[in-house]
């Protein structure tokens, strides 16, 4: 779900619109200026710079903003 500049991911799922991303399992698909890549391990945390921000990916629920505060906030 999207809350302004925020994004909610549950389990291995993550959905975004526009400049956001779609993640299914350990796949992630970027739209627009984003990229496509594969994580071979579900528990693997990928950290990379994208559109002048850092994004941490993993398994579990998390909410992060892509505005002034790109730091992931882990929910569970």
Q: What averages of pLDDT result for each successive group of 10 residues across the chain (76 residues)?
A: 43 48 50 44 37 38 39 43
The pLDDT score that the predictor gives to residue 68 is 38
Q: Where are the domains of the chain?
A: 2-74
Sorted by sequence, the CB contacts under 8 Å of residue 20 that are 6+ apart come out as 2, 7, 31, 66
The closest alpha carbon to 17, from 5, 39, 27, 44, belongs to: 5
The pLDDT score that the predictor gives to residue 17 is 46
Tell me how far apart the alpha carbons of residues 16 and 2 are, in angstroms, rounded to a whole number: 7
The closest alpha carbon to 17, from 27, 7, 28, belongs to: 7
């Amino acid at each position: 779900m999207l809350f302004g500049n925020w994004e909610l991911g549950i389990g291995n799922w993550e959905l975004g619109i526009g400049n956001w991303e779609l993640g299914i399992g350990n796949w992630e698909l970027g739209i627009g200026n984003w990229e496509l890549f594969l994580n071979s391990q579900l528990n693997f945390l990928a950290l990379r710079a994208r559109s002048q921000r850092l994004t941490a990916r993993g398994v579990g629920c998390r909410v992060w903003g892509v505005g002034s505060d790109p730091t992931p906030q882990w929910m569970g």
